[in-house]
Chain A
Amino acid sequence: MKDIAYIDLKQCILEDNEHLADEVRTLAREKKFFLWNIMSSPGAGKTTFILDVIRRMKDTLRIGVIEGDIESMVDARKMQQMGVSTVQLRTGGDCHLDAAMIRKALQALPLDELDLVIIENIGNLVCPAEFDLGADLPSMLLSVPEGDDKALKYPLMFSVVKALIVTKTDAVSLFDFDFEALHDNARRLNDKLDIFHVSAKTGDGMESFCTWLQGKIENKKY
């Protein structure tokens, strides 16, 4: 004879990841560094943007980078050429980074000597949004060629980030990109979102973004 029973679990599926993200937050407080997660679709310009931020901020901040890629070391080499400590995470197929990967990568960085650690997440607007990495600043890039309607298509991503950085603004004359529509759509579920317009190619908007970032880093309470 068999009994059939229903058992209430009410258990969060990503519970393990959330515990690990808390551990990362604790580590960042203890070691006094600011953790910045950058997400976007492939080709939005993450690497070019990060390289320009490093170029502008490396004299005032000690910067480390965690490079997430499904394959290759291409981006990590570019970062190393800028003279910053870099760890390459190759997920071998996984389309996102999780807190366990970040905790491991942080162990390979000289954390006592860093003020800012930048995470370049895997290019993808869906899965990276699902995983809390313990970052002080979860953010996303959206490039002008991708279009202004992405907030409607990827609402989770636009709701979990604190900053939205629109890149490749130098290409705006080639596309029908409506900045006002983007702002309107992006703030429907995230009214406190900070939005920036930049072009790493021409440098437009980069200085004011870096000033804002510097303020965030200085205001972090340890």
Chain B
Amino acid sequence: MTKSIYKTVLRRAEAVDAVAVNRVVLEIGILRDFIPEIVQKYWDYIAVDGIAKGAKIEIRELDARVACGQCGQEYDVGREQIQDPRCPSCGYAWGTLLAGNELRIAGIEIERNHTQTENTEER
């Protein structure tokens, strides 16, 4: 998984002529088992050289969203409530998961050489 993130980041960074990637921001649903320290460890293992070496992995956790199986109300569920995500309106215990599985790269912070306008055109 980290390799897949690495490849995407590298491709997107190279496309804009980045000389370094400082930060990779991930948005991860709370149902995914993503531990920031582990992802960072894999990243440092994969990115041994090149522009993405030393990039910091930042994970933003996204709450789950559930539709109540009884009254249909949609509500957010944080990590603390995930074991017992009861409907806040009717108290019903069962529902359908609508979100909470997200796994995406939100963005990257990169460095680029300052572009200088040079006239290299030959007459």
| A171-212 to B contact mask, C-beta < 8 Å, 1/0 | 000000000000010011111100000000000000000000
Of chain B, the residue at the smallest CB distance from A131 is: B1
CB pair A9–B111 under 8 Å, yes or no, is: no
Q: Could you tell me the distance between the alpha carbons of A74 and B85 in the complex, rounded to whole angstroms?
A: 42
Q: Which residue of B lies closest to A11 (CB)?
A: B105
Q: Is A8's CB under 8 angstroms from B94's CB?
A: no
Residues of A within 8 A of B5 (CB): 13
- How far apart are the CA atoms of A10 and B27 in the complex, in Å? 9
A108→B59 CA distance, assembly (Å): 40
Does B51 reach chain A (CB closer than 8 Å)? no
| Chain B residues whose CB sits within 8 angstroms of the CB of A12 once the complex forms | 103-104
Nearest A residue (CB) for B113:
A2
Give the CA-CA distance A176 to B113 in the complex, in Å: 65
**A-B contact number at CB 8 A:** 103
Q: Is the CB of B83 within 8 A of A6?
A: no
Give per-residue flags for B96-123: 1 if the beta carbon is below 8 A from chain A beta carbons, else 0.
Answer: 1100110111111111111000000000
A188 touches B94 (CB 8 A): yes
Query: Which of the residues B19, B95, B114 comes within 8 Å of A189, measured between beta carbons?
Result: B95
User: Within the assembled complex, what's the spacing in Å between the Cα atoms of A130 and B95?
Assistant: 20
Q: Which residues from chain B contact A191 at a C-beta distance below 8 Å?
A: 69, 94-96
The answer, yes or no, to whether B33 is at the interface (CB within 8 Å) is: yes
Binds B, one of A46-54, A77-85, A152-160, A214-222: A152-160
Inter-chain CA distance A184–B95, complex, in Å, is: 11
Taking CB atoms and an 8 Å cut-off, the chain B residues in 57-75 that contact chain A are 64, 66, 69
Pair B101/A156 contact, Cβ less than 8 Å? yes
A189 nearest in chain B by CB position: B97
A160 closest partner in B (C-beta):
B101
B93 an interface residue at 8 Å Cβ cutoff? yes
A155 touches which one: B12, B82, B107 (CB < 8 A)? B82
The answer to whether B41 has its CB under 8 Å from any CB of chain A is no
How far is it, in angstroms, between the C-alpha of A144 and the C-alpha of B37 when the chains are bound? 34
A57 on the interface (CB 8 Å rule)?
no
Q: Say yes or no: is B40 at the interface (Cβ < 8 Å to chain A).
A: no
- Count chain B CB atoms within 10 A of each CB in A13, A16, A152, A155 and give the residue with the most: A13
Beyond known contacts A4-B110, A11-B104, A159-B101: 17 more, CB 8 A cutoff: A2-B20, A3-B113, A4-B111, A5-B111, A7-B16, A8-B106, A13-B4, A13-B5, A14-B4, A130-B1, A130-B32, A156-B32, A159-B31, A188-B83, A189-B64, A189-B66, A190-B97
Interface pairs A-B: 10 shortest CB-CB: A1-B114, A191-B69, A191-B94, A187-B94, A156-B31, A189-B97, A13-B103, A8-B107, A159-B97, A3-B112
Give me the interface of A with B, judged by CB distance under 8 Å. 1-14, 16, 126, 130, 152, 155-156, 159-160, 184, 187-192
Can you give 15 A-B contacts (C-beta < 8 A)?
A2-B112, A2-B114, A3-B111, A3-B113, A7-B110, A10-B104, A11-B8, A13-B103, A14-B103, A16-B4, A155-B82, A187-B93, A187-B94, A189-B85, A192-B96
